[in-house]
Amino acid sequence: WRILVLNGPNLNMLGKREASLYGHETLADVEVLCAAKAAQLGAQLAFYQSNYEGALVERIQQAREDADLIVINPAAYTHTSVAIRDALLAAEKPVVEIHISNIHKREPFRHHSYVSDIALGQVVGLGIRGYAYAMEAGITHLESQVA
Ligand code: DQA
């Protein structure tokens, strides 16, 4: 299986930004964790981060051709972007949404996600380990589709 892990704006600042909320690990650490999980699952990993909505949209469009599963932390675009939602719908691949922090116990504007109702599920509040849980859940879903 080919897994695309996508990260939205400011996640390149992981480890520096609001460490009490997001921890001390960096986005490079997240990539190492995802690569290890992909190897364990026998899957291929593509890992991408952008601060630009349009760049994320274009990478999601490409996933129609080059991915079987999308794991996405849309970051702030979670709460604002109809464009990312529409791109995910157009990609026609299973999506697992992940957030490092628990968005449901933060400010009310973070409680709504434009992605959650089109996702298989949402992993929130479990730190960067959540990326591995999201990958595993997505692969379990794909395996159950072919079984
Ligand atoms: C986040 C939560 C979002 O509300 C926030 O804008 C982020 C990170 C998380 O991983 O907890 O940038 O997606």
Residue range 51-71, pLDDT digits in tens = 999 999 999 999 999 999 999
Give the pLDDT of residue 146: 79
User: How far, in Å, CA of 129 to CA of 83, rounded?
Assistant: 27
For the chain, which domains are there?
2-71+82-146 (3.40.50.9100)
98 CA: nearest ligand 1 atom: 10
User: How far, in Å, CA of 48 to CA of 67, rounded?
Assistant: 13
- Report the separation in Å between the CA atom of 147 and the middle of ligand 1, taken as the mean of its atom positions: 35
Q: CA torsion, points 68, 8, 35, 143, in degrees to nearest 10?
A: -30
ipTM above 0.95, yes or no: yes
101 CA: nearest ligand 1 atom: 11
Give the pLDDT of residue 18: 87
**Residue 126 in contact with ligand 1 by CB distance below 6 A:** no
- Find all residues with CB under 8 Å of 12, minimum gap 6, and list them: 27, 49, 51
Beta strand pairing status for 44-49 and 2-7? parallel
Residue range 85-138, pLDDT digits in tens = 999 999 999 999 999 999 999 999 999 999 999 999 999 999 999 999 999 999
0.90 exceeded by the pTM? yes
